[in-house]
């Protein structure tokens, strides 16, 4: 494909140097970034990729308990020197049937290590009600086709059957999708504008009032639930392009908010207005016109529901329309200022589990860390604010993503289970947040901790790629290390284990770990390089950490016992590694 004829999404993908080395799975990672606005694909890759070979037709198993989604993906990339094809091979789509059966049904003891631990964790997440939507993707760089679509319908039916055998909550929706050229183009386009539904829309309301500010104006009113339902039936989740998440579905339980919304709309629709918080809706233009009967006709151009996706989805999926008298409060906001627009999106998406870090971005700790990080070479830190759509497309090479920083700090300070299982809670829970982000936390210490995590992730990826290539065989020691890294959460556990040995490595007591750094002028890349020899020296001991795992990284007592064994072995071998430790110690500072 000539450079000048490349679709924009292809150019964006090829510019992602952080995806070099992942083979065809890189395209799957890029799809995850576009669809779910993921910034740190290196950490995602470390936990979600299978290493190929005997992977049971599955390249990616992505589990996100915060968003309550899981993605099973098979990837295919037509080589640049291959003959052009009009469509991707359909048999690769049918392979997903096997992947679903292996992941959701087969005896885990019959699965190869490359996929066993992903299968165990996925099943546990589904059984525990931590997954509300299962995505199954066939990702490729060719045109979509009817043959593939037909194969995916079979996969979808098989997945629904598999879920019924796994859990009584059989209403977990399954979405099978061919992610090819057209879908990539659509997702890429979606990231360019927060408003995707650009129709001219009319709605009649009883009244309302206008508000104006600096570069924004709004109209506040009450809209009929019937209008909301009709828009959802017409546009579905495109209505939520400016929301951090789509409609998550309704599960028949007392604790499910969306189920409660639906019940209210069905049984008590005339009281829906006082029971509901209302909607915030972005528009391109809004023009209220008073009618002869005293009512108001709102002429709207473009619409995106920035807050109220769950309300809209619940109303939109009602079996029958609510009464015309039923209403919900709504405010329509228009602004030509892009920065204000994205701040409206950010501050209106107030669910703790989703936008937890955003609401720390203005506290004094994060302001200080942003300022201090600006003095460190080749380092960027947004201080609690997740990036916007641009960061999902064009990676900032020097960015230390907020959520990964929180995970690195938690792991270095001995909380591997928190780092792996509670990445949003680090920001949402006051106790956890203050434990890692406090007056002792410095930008230099963040770089120190982040560098260790990146080094460990790089070692895991190198082992996986070596195993996948089928070229040079892994040594026995490397096989054992890869066996450890196949377990989900292993990177964070190893970071915690290395950190637990720092007194042995540095040859001195450490009264305050927050003071550890590589100094004020060490970049994140250099910090990672500083850790290289230490990580390489300790990796052969990683197998002694395997007893920490049950279903993922959960049991705190087992974790403590495994790390105690690891630290004892590091102490016992410290003489042999003394030159490595002494070199490392020279690069470490414990000054405030």
Averaged pLDDT of the chain: 87
Whole-angstrom distance, CA of residue 11 vs CA of residue 18? 14
Structure confidence at residue 307 as a pLDDT band (50, 70, 90):
confident
What percentage of the chain carries pLDDT values higher than 70? 88
At residue 257, the pLDDT reads 43
Residue 169 binned pLDDT confidence (cut-offs 50, 70, 90): low
Q: At what angle do helices 443-469 and 490-500 cross, to 10 degrees?
A: 130
- Position 471 scores a pLDDT of 65
Reading phi first (left if > 0) and then psi (alpha if -120 to 50, else beta), residue 414 is in left
Rounded to an integer, the average pLDDT of 8-16 is 91
Q: State the Cα–Cα distance between residues 286 and 299, nearest whole angstrom.
A: 6
pLDDT band at 358 (very low <50, low <70, confident <90, very high): low
At 241 the pLDDT is 75
Q: How many CA atoms lie within 13 A of 145 on its CB side?
A: 18
**Among candidate residues 63, 67, 72, 65, the one with its CA nearest the CA of residue 28:** 72
Say which residues have a Cβ less than 8 Å from residue 503's Cβ, sequence separation at least 6. Answer: 509, 510
- At 340 the pLDDT is 83
pLDDT in tens, 408-447: 999 999 999 999 999 989 988 889 999 999 999 999 999 9
Q: What is the pLDDT, as a whole number, of residue 388? A: 54
Q: Are 28 and 41 in contact (CB under 8 A)?
A: no
Q: pLDDT tens for residues 76-111? A: 998 776 666 778 888 888 889 989 999 999 998 888
Average pLDDT over residues 539-543: 95
Q: Are 283 and 298 in contact (CB under 8 A)?
A: no
CA distance 61 to 121: 10
How far is 61 from 73, CA to CA, in rounded Å? 7
Please tell me the predicted confidence (pLDDT) of residue 350: 52
pLDDT of residue 110: 87
Under a CB-based contact definition with an 8 Å cutoff, are residues 363 and 402 in contact?
no
Per-residue burial over 438-476, b = 16 or more CB atoms within 10 Å of its CB, e = otherwise: eeebbbbbbbbbbbbbbbbbbbbbebbbbbbeeeeeeee
Percent of the chain residues topping a pLDDT of 90:
59
DSSP bridge pairs for 539: none
How far apart are the C-alpha atoms of 565 and 559, rounded to whole Å? 10
The reported pLDDT for the residue numbered 6 is 84
Taking CA 215 as the corner, what is the angle to CA 211 and CA 216, rounded to the nearest 5 degrees?
35
DSSP, collapsed to helix, strand or coil, labels residue 203 as strand
Residue 14 phi, psi dihedral angles, 5° rounding? -65, -25
Q: Provide the 3-class DSSP secondary structure of residue 55.
A: coil
Per-residue pLDDT of 37-48, as tens digits, reads: 888 999 999 999
Q: What's the mean pLDDT in 51-62? A: 74
CA distance 437 to 428: 12
* pLDDT value at 1 more than 50: no
- Which residue matches tokens 């190893």? 494
* pLDDT attached to residue 259: 58
DSSP conformational letter for 456:
H
* Separation CA 49–CA 118 (nearest Å): 9
Structure tokens at 589: 């500072």
Catalogue the E-assigned strands of 192-341. 197-205, 208-213, 216-224, 279-282, 285-290, 296-307, 327-334
Query: Given the DSSP bridges, would you call strands 279-282 and 208-213 parallel, antiparallel or unpaired?
Result: unpaired
pTM beyond 0.85: the answer is: no
Q: What is the CA radius of gyration of the chain?
A: 26
Is the pLDDT at 537 greater than 50? The verdict is: yes
For residue 385, pLDDT beyond 70: no
CA–CA distance, 51 with 113 (Å, rounded to integer): 10
CB 51 within 8 A of CB 464: yes
How does residue 56 score in pLDDT terms, banded at 50, 70 and 90?
low
Mean pLDDT for the stretch of residues 30-36: 92
For 549-579, give one letter per residue: b (16+ CB within 10 A) or e: beebbbbeeebeebbebbbeebeeeeeebee
């Amino acid at each position: 494909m000539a450079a000048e004829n490349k679709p924009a999404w292809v150019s964006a993908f090829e510019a992602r140097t952080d995806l070099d080395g992942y083979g065809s799975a890189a395209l799957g990672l890029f799809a995850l970034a576009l669809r779910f606005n993921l910034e740190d694909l290196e950490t995602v890759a470390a936990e979600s990729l299978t290493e190929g070979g005997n992977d049971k037709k599955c390249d990616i198993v992505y589990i996100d308990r915060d968003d309550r989604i899981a993605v099973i993906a098979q990837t295919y990339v037509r080589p640049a020197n291959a003959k052009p094809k009009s469509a991707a091979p359909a048999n690769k789509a049918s392979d997903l049937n096997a992947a679903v059966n292996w992941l959701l049904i087969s005896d885990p003891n019959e699965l190869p290590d490359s996929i066993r631990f992903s299968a165990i964790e996925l099943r546990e997440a589904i059984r525990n009600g931590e997954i509300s939507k299962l995505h199954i993707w066939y990702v490729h760089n060719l045109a979509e086709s009817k043959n593939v679509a037909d194969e995916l319908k079979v996969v979808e039916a098989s997945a629904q059957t598999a879920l019924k055998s796994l859990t009584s909550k059989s209403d977990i929706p399954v979405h099978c999708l061919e992610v090819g050229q057209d879908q990539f183009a659509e997702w890429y386009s979606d990231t360019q504008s927060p408003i995707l539904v650009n129709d001219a829309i009319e709605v009649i309301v009883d009244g309302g009032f206008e508000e104006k500010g600096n570069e924004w104006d709004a109209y506040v009113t009450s809209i009929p639930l019937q209008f909301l339902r009709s828009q959802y039936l017409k546009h579905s989740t495109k209505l939520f392009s400016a929301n951090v998440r789509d409609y998550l579905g309704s599960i028949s339980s007392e604790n499910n908010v969306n189920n409660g919304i639906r019940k209210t709309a069905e049984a008590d629709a005339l009281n829906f207005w006082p029971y509901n918080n209302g909607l915030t809706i972005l528009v391109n233009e809004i023009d209220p016109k008073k009618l002869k009967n005293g009512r108001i006709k709102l002429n709207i151009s473009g619409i995106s529901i920035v807050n109220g996706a769950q309300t809209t989805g619940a109303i939109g999926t009602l079996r029958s329309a609510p009464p015309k008298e039923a209403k919900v409060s709504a405010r329509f906001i228009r602004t030509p200022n892009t920065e204000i627009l994205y701040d409206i999106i950010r501050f209106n998406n107030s669910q703790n589990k989703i936008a937890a870090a955003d609401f720390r971005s203005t506290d004094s700790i994060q302001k200080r860390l942003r300022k201090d990080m600006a003095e460190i070479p080749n380092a960027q830190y947004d201080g609690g604010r997740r990036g916007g759509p641009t960061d999902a497309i064009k990676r900032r090479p020097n960015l230390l993503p907020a959520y990964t920083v929180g995970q690195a700090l938690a792991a270095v300070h001995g909380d591997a289970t928190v780092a792996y299982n509670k990445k949003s809670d680090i920001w949402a829970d006051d106790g956890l947040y203050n434990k890692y982000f406090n007056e002792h936390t410095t930008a230099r210490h963040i770089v120190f901790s982040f560098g260790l995590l990146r080094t460990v992730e790089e070692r895991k990826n190198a082992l996986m790629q070596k195993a996948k290539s089928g070229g040079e065989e892994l040594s026995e020691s490397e096989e054992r290390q890869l066996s450890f890294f196949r377990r989900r959460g292993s990177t964070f556990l190893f970071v915690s284990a290395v950190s637990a040995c720092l007194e042995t490595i540095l040859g001195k007591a450490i009264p305050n770990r927050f003071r550890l750094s590589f100094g004020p002028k060490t970049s994140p890349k250099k910090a990672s390089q500083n850790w290289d020899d230490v990580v390489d020296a300790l990796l052969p001991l990683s197998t002694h950490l395997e007893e920490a795992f049950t279903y993922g990284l959960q049991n705190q007592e087992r974790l403590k016992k495994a790390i105690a064994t690891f630290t004892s072995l590091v102490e016992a071998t410290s003489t042999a590694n003394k030159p490595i430790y002494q070199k490392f110690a020279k690069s470490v500072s414990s000054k405030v």
